[in-house]
Amino acid sequence: MMSDEWTESGQDDHSALVPKDATQHQESARASFASSVFNIMHAIMGSGILGLAYAMSNTGIIGFSLLLLFVAVMAAYSVHLLLVLCEQTALTTYEDLGFCAFKTTGKVMVAGAILIQNIGAMSSYLFVIKSELPAAIAGFLHNSYNGTPWYLNGQILLLITVIFVVLPLALLPKIEFLGYTSGLSILFMVYFTIVVVVKKWFVPCPLFNGTVNYFQNFSSDECKPKLLQISSKSAYAIPTMAFSFLCHTSVLPIYCELKRPSKSRMQKAVNIGMILSFSIYMLSALFGYLTFYANVNSQLLHSYSQYLPRDHIIMSVRICILFSVLLTVPLIHFPARKSFMLLFCSSCPFSWLCHILVTLVIQTVIVLLAIYVPNIQNIFGVVGSTTSTALLFIYPGLFYMQISRESLKSSRKLKALGLIILGILIGAVSLLVIIITWLHNEN
C-alpha cells in the first residue's frame, strides 16, 4: 500500500520509512512565519467558538479560565511531541506517524478519528446554518406570520443550502480556490468577538425588550457571574475546548511548507497561534457569558437572535458566520472523504462513481446529524470527548512512546505517558457523564 510513496532508509528503527520527496518539500517551502501562524489559527478556530460561553456558564469564570488554559497548554505540548516525531522520522502527516508507530492499525486509528472529527465539525457547521439562516432571513422581513412559512423553516433551508451550495462544491475533485477564502474565517471570528464585547454594554440584565422578559423567574443572583460552578453540564466543558483547540492534523503539513523549517521555529509559530486563539476564545466566552449569564444558549448567536432579532450589527455577524460556514464545510469535506477512502477503498483507483457515492454518504450523515441532534453542545460533547481527546491527547503520547528510542524513564516519555492517561480519563469521564445526563433527561 505504501510502496509507491516510500523507500527504505536502511535504518533498523521506526524511522525506516522516509518520504522520497521530503528534501524537495523543504527546499520548495515558501510559507513565511507569519502565514504559518495564520494557517495554524485557521486550523484551530471554528464553530467551537460558539459553544464556549455556554461552557463558561457551566464552570464559572475561574473554572473555565483554568480549564481553557490547561487544554491550550496540553494542545501545544502534544503538538511539540508530533514535531519531535516529524523531525526524527521525516514523516509529514498524522496518518503516516500512525503507520510508523503501529503499521496499518495505527493509520486506520488516525484516519477513523479524523473522519469522525470532521463529520462532527461539518455537522456543527450545518447546525449553525439550520439555526441561524432562518433568523438571518427573518431579520430582513418585518411581517408577522401565522405559523412558520417554509422560508423560515431551518430544516428546509438546510436541505436547500446543502443541495444547491455545499454538495456541488464538495463534489469538485479539486477545491483550491476556496482555500483563498479561508482568511475570511479568522476575520469573521475576530469581528464576532469584537461584537460580543461591545454588545455586552447594550443588553440589559434581566433581559427585557419591552414585551417579553426572557428571565421569567428572575432573581437577584441571575445577573451575578459565577466564579466557580460544577454540575453535570460541566462535563461538556473540556470536550468543547478540545474540539475548539484541535489543529494537530494540519500542523505537520504546515511545518513542511514553512520557510527555513525547524522544530523550534514551528513550535514558536504554534505557540503564537495558540495564544492568539486562546485570547479570542477567552474574550468571546467571557463577554458572551457576562451578557446572558446562566441563560446563555449553547449556540451563542442564538442568544442574540432571541433578544436582538433585527439588530443590524448582529445581522451582519450572522451573515458573516453563515458565509464562512458555507465555504468551510466543503473544505472540511475533502479530508473527511480522504479518510473514508483510506478506510474503505484504499486499494481502489479513483473513479467518479466512488467519488460521488462517498460524497453523498458523508453529506447525508452530516445532514441527518444537523437535523436530529437537538443541541450543538451534544456534538461538541460527544466528538470532543472521543476523537478530539484521542487526536489531541492520546495519539501524540502513544505514538511518541512507540516511535521514540528514548529511555522509558526519560522526562519526555513520562510526560507522553501522562498525556495518554490524562486523555483517557478526560474522554471516558466526560463521555460517561454526558450519557448519564442524556438518560436522566429522557427519564
pLDDT of residue 215: 45
Average pLDDT over residues 169-183: 70
pLDDT of residue 147: 64
- The 3-state DSSP class for residue 33 equals helix
Average pLDDT over residues 65-92: 91
What phi-psi label fits residue 147: left (phi over 0), alpha (psi between -120 and 50 degrees) or beta? Answer: left
Residue 340 has pLDDT above 50, yes or no: yes
> Binning pLDDT at 50, 70 and 90, where does residue 17 land?
very low
Residue 276 has pLDDT above 90, yes or no: yes
Q: Which amino acid type is present at position 237?
A: A
Residue 43 has pLDDT above 70, yes or no: yes
pLDDT of residue 219: 52
CA distances to 295, 340, 369 from 358, in Å: 40, 8, 17
pLDDT of residue 250: 82
CA dihedral sign, ordered 437, 438, 441, 443:
negative
pLDDT of residue 160: 93
> Binning pLDDT at 50, 70 and 90, where does residue 218 land?
very low
Domain of residue 423, CATH code:
1.20.1740.10
Residue 168 has pLDDT above 70, yes or no: yes
Average model confidence (pLDDT) across the chain? 82
> Binning pLDDT at 50, 70 and 90, where does residue 366 land?
very high
Residue 13 has pLDDT above 50, yes or no: no
Residue 30 lies in a domain: yes
Buried b (16+ CB within 10 A) or exposed e, 151-173: ebbbeebbeebbeeebbebbbee
What phi-psi label fits residue 210: left (phi over 0), alpha (psi between -120 and 50 degrees) or beta? Answer: left
Residue 112 has pLDDT above 60, yes or no: yes
C-alpha cell at 385: 470527548
121-144 per-position pLDDT tens digit: 899 889 889 988 888 888 777 666
pLDDT of residue 176: 60
Residue 110 has pLDDT above 90, yes or no: yes
| Global pTM exceeds 0.85 | no
Residue 427 lies in a domain: yes
Residue 6 lies in a domain: no
> Binning pLDDT at 50, 70 and 90, where does residue 146 land?
low
Average pLDDT over residues 328-335: 84
- Measured CA to CA, the distance from residue 76 to residue 238 in angstroms comes to 15
Residue 339 lies in a domain: yes
pLDDT of residue 102: 93
C-alpha cell at 198: 461591545
Of 84, 82, 387, 366, the closest CA to residue 250 belongs to 82
Residue 5 lies in a domain: no
pLDDT of residue 114: 92
* Mean pLDDT lowest among 16-20, 107-111, 116-120, 189-193: 16-20
pLDDT of residue 180: 61
Of 243, 236, 201, 277, the closest CA to residue 64 belongs to 236
CA dihedral sign, ordered 425, 427, 428, 430:
positive
Average pLDDT over residues 276-302: 89
Residue 114 lies in a domain: yes
Residue 421 lies in a domain: yes
381-437 per-position pLDDT tens digit: 888 889 999 999 999 999 999 998 888 888 899 999 999 999 999 999 888 888 888
Residues 6+ apart with CB under 8 A from 4: none
> Binning pLDDT at 50, 70 and 90, where does residue 24 land?
very low
373-395 per-position pLDDT tens digit: 888 788 888 888 899 999 999 99
Domain extent at residue 217: 23-442
- Torsion angle, CA of 280/283/286/291, rounded to 10 degrees? -110
Residue 342 lies in a domain: yes
Residue 26 has pLDDT above 60, yes or no: no
For the chain, the domain total comes to: 1
Residue 322 CA neighbour count, 13 Å, CB half: 22
